[in-house]
């Protein structure tokens, strides 16, 4: 039974491990390993404090995936946010990514975020299909935007506008 919940302090270690594991696959994320535990902890605590969007997927108590949408820092762009996500390999293709993204988009909408952006590698067809399914459009391609071990890859830049949700802010 998988649960998708807003991240809490007790998930920091599990999130760190999941992020590190997916990053070390070297195929999907900008990161090739997790940042330091201290940085990850500060990132999560700041998301909790600011009520920014970050959800984790849990199998029992274990963090097996995450999705976050963090507003850009500068005031002229902070009405928009950047999405990042990942699942441990054995949990992919079971609809958990869809659940995580839906929860995050709803939360960001209730926080009055106006648009979500993301970058995805051109070879990452499952991710691109998921993003299209949830209403993301391709804004452009950054040719050879990635270089790893001497191999180039295109970066696909995608976005989705969020309609302002009625009711109270989350
Ligand atoms: C990308 C990722 C988060 C998607 O989550 P997921 O739980 O695997 O995706 P879902 O099972 O919810 O599937 C969502 C859609 O993606 C597509 N999809 C999923 N797995 C796929 C596969 N192996 N091949 C092709 N399309 C696939 C389908 O269109 C699917 O929708 P449908 O089932 O209604 O047809 C997950 O695969 C993952 O963690 N990948 C590695 C890390 C990563 O790529 N992060 C994103 C970096 S931008």
Residue 156 token pair: 């696909």
Domains and CATH numbers, the chain: 2-161 (3.40.630.30)
- The pLDDT of residue 137 is 98
Reading the block at residue 160, the tokens are 């989705």
The tokens 């040719």 sit on which residue? 143
The answer to whether the CB of 94 is under 6 A from ligand 1 is: yes
Ligand 1 atom having least distance to the Cα of 118: 48
Say if ligand 1 is within 6 A of residue 120 CB.
Answer: yes
Are residues 154 and 142 in contact, defined by beta-carbon separation less than 8 angstroms?
yes
Q: What is the pLDDT of residue 164?
A: 76
Q: Report pLDDT for 166.
A: 72
How far away, in angstroms, is 78 Cα from ligand 1 center? 28
21/15 Cα distance (integer angstroms): 10
Cβ of 158 less than 6 Å from ligand 1: no
pTM: 0.95
Find the 168 Cα to ligand 1 centroid distance in Å: 32
Q: Which residue's C-alpha comes closest to atom 44 of ligand 1? A: 28
The reported pLDDT for the residue numbered 58 is: 98
Encode pLDDT of 1-43 as tens digits. 999 999 999 999 999 999 999 999 999 999 999 999 999 999 9
Q: 115-121 and 137-148: which strand pairing?
A: unpaired
CB of 92 within 6 A of ligand 1: the answer is: yes
CA distance 118 to 28: 13
- Print pLDDT tens along the chain (170 aa): 999 999 999 999 999 999 999 999 999 999 999 999 999 999 999 999 999 999 999 999 999 999 999 999 999 999 999 999 999 999 999 999 999 999 999 999 999 999 999 999 999 999 999 999 999 999 999 999 999 999 999 999 999 999 877 777 77
Report the residue among 130, 136, 156 best suited for mutation to probe ligand 1: largest number of ligand atoms under 8 A from its CB. 130
User: Do residues 29 and 45 touch, judged by C-beta distance below 8 A?
Assistant: no
**Distance in angstroms (rounded) separating the CA atoms of residues 119 and 121:** 7
């Amino acid at each position: 039974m998988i649960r998708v919940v807003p991240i809490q302090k007790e998930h920091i270690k599990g999130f760190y491990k999941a992020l590190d594991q997916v990053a070390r696959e070297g195929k999907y994320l900008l990161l090739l390993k997790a940042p330091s535990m201290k940085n990850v902890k500060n990132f999560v605590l700041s998301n909790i404090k600011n009520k920014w969007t970050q959800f984790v997927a849990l199998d029992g108590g274990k963090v097996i995936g995450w999705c976050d949408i963090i507003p850009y820092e500068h005031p002229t762009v902070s009405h928009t946010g950047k999405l990042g996500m990942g699942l441990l390999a054995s949990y992919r293709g079971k609809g958990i990514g869809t659940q995580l993204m839906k929860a995050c988009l709803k939360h960001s909408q209730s926080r009055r975020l106006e648009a979500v952006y993301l970058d995805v590698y051109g070879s990452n067809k499952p991710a691109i299909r998921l993003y299209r399914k949830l209403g993301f459009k391709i804004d452009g391609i950054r040719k050879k935007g990635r270089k790893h071990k001497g191999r180039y890859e295109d970066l696909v830049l995608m976005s989705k506008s969020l309609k302002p949700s009625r009711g109270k802010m989350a």
